[in-house]
Amino acid sequence: MKTKRLTKFGAVLSAALVLFSGILSVSAASVPQAVIDTDRKASVSLYKYDFTSAHADGVLGDNTYISTGYADENVENTLMPYAIEGVVFSYAKIADLAVHAETKDGEHQNMLLYKLPGGDKTTALINCLDLTSEDAYKTDRGDLYFTSDTLIDALSDHLNTAESQTKNALEAFIRQNGTSMPETDGTGHTSAAELEQGLYLFVETQVPETVSNTTAPFLLSLPMTSIDGMNWNYDVTVYPKNERTAPTLEKTLRESKADTGKNDDTNSITDGYAHTATGSIGDLIEYQILSTLPSITSRATSFSEYTYTDTL
């Protein structure tokens, strides 16, 4: 069994994109004797919940739960009524784990870097994040070695400043280079197993029509460290954020002055529209429909058609 002992490391779970805005990252000094079994495969479980309704019902607060990377039975039991079925996440391995040894201030240390292989795939990815080879911690034979902080910060910054463009770019990348997970089931769950160790990009690529915004793309290191830094977690569980809204719809009407004498003409509304009105057979009554459309932030949540059907 091959193992690697690390005294400095970078464990990645991209900032503010996972369970309840939690950032799962542990300082290098907290894992002085962490050991990776490099022969072991990894797995990921994802749960998709309707955070909007859970917040509205008082079930979920901003700091209700803490991201750990481990399955949380309390989370799953509490949010089960808010599970969203039919969501597809896609993933792509973008980097290998690479141990970099160096001596700094007279102290020998091993760092865990992420090795992005040279080639068109890596070029397309770092272009999405406006990174270049100059941002890499080191280069070797065309391969780029990045720290976790550099990759996380680049992704977070772009999502904060250009969310739609970043989502679209990474959706296009993952469709070209990634693998789709099964649709989430009735419990909101999907998973992928037998994954090679490395750094993965996860992107939400399909959502039901009632989901108004996709989860932000995130990076996940497999394996990743436990919160206390004492163990490596090969079977990571993630509870991504998601907003879900049905479009609002309100219909109001106004009586015609020609029939009732109560309103001005069509182009001059002084007493407005109301939810009720008085009329007789043959009277002309105007009405309007007011609606708030779901937000469209990326191609995965875009609409080709939006239709109102009004049944008297």
pLDDT at 75: 86
Number of domains in the chain: 2
Range of the structural domain that residue 278 is part of: 248-292
In a domain, 111, yes or no: yes
In a domain, 305, yes or no: no
Reference 144, options 104, 96, 108; nearest CA is 96
Q: Are residues 171 and 273 in the same domain?
A: no
What predicted TM-score, i.e. pTM, was given to this entire model? 0.76
- Please give the sequence-ordered ranges of beta strands (E in DSSP) within the chain, or none if there are none: 3-6, 34-37, 42-47, 88-104, 107-116, 138-140, 143-146, 179-180, 189-195, 198-206, 211-213, 218-222, 224-225, 232-233, 235-238, 243-244, 248-255, 285-292
- Distance from C-alpha of 284 to C-alpha of 66, rounded to nearest angstrom: 59
Q: Are residues 77 and 150 in the same domain?
A: yes
Q: Are residues 157 and 209 in the same domain?
A: yes
Within the chain, which residues score under 70 in pLDDT? 1-34, 62-65, 242-247, 255-272, 292-298, 300-306, 312
- Distance from C-alpha of 16 to C-alpha of 287, rounded to nearest angstrom: 44
Q: Are residues 276 and 187 in the same domain?
A: no
- Distance from C-alpha of 62 to C-alpha of 260, rounded to nearest angstrom: 53
- Please state the φ and ψ torsions of residue 173, each to the nearest 5 degrees: -65, -45
Q: Are residues 91 and 210 in the same domain?
A: yes
Residue 154: strand, helix, or coil? helix
Q: Are residues 121 and 270 in the same domain?
A: no
